[in-house]
Amino acid sequence: MLTQVQFAGQALQLGERDGRCVLLRGETLVMPLAISAPCGFSPDRRGKVRIEPFNRGSRIVLVEHVRPDPRMAGVERPSCIRESQAVREIRGVLEAGTVIASSCCGHGPTDQKLFVAGFDW
C-alpha cells in the first residue's frame, strides 16, 4: 500500500487518527479525510503514486480505502467496497473532494474520473 508522496512541494504521508485516514507532514496534521483507515494512494501503472495533472495547473492524488462488502459474505468471489477521496492542489492550496464509493477489490490504476469527480470545477 502506497502511503508516502512528494506532493504540493511537500513530503506527505497517510496516517490514522481515531479510525480515520489523515494526511500528515511528519507528525503534523495537514488534512483529515472522510474515509476510514487504513488507506493508501492510488498507484500508476508503474506502481508509484499517481499524481494526475488537471485543469490548468491543478494536481490531484487519490486516497483509497478498500474493505470486504459484508452483503456478499459466503459468495465464491469476494466483493469489496472501495471508498476514494481525491486531494487536489490548486493555486497552492490543498483541498479534499467528496468521497466516492465503488465496488472493487483491487488497488490498480484508476480511471481519471475518480480523481476529478469529487470537486466543483
Which tens digit of pLDDT belongs to each residue from 16-37? Answer: 999 999 999 999 999 999 999 9
Position 56 scores a pLDDT of 74
Question: Do you know the residue count of the chain?
Answer: 121
- Residue 7 contacts residue 13 (beta carbons within 8 Å): no
Q: Which cell numbers in the block locate residue 60?
A: 490531484
Beta strands in the chain (DSSP E): 4-7, 10-17, 20-25, 28-36, 40-41, 52-54, 58-68, 80-90, 93-102
Which run of H or of E encompasses 113? helix 112-116
Position 21 scores a pLDDT of 98
Position 112 scores a pLDDT of 83
> Which residue has better confidence, 38 or 71?
38
Average pLDDT, the chain: 89
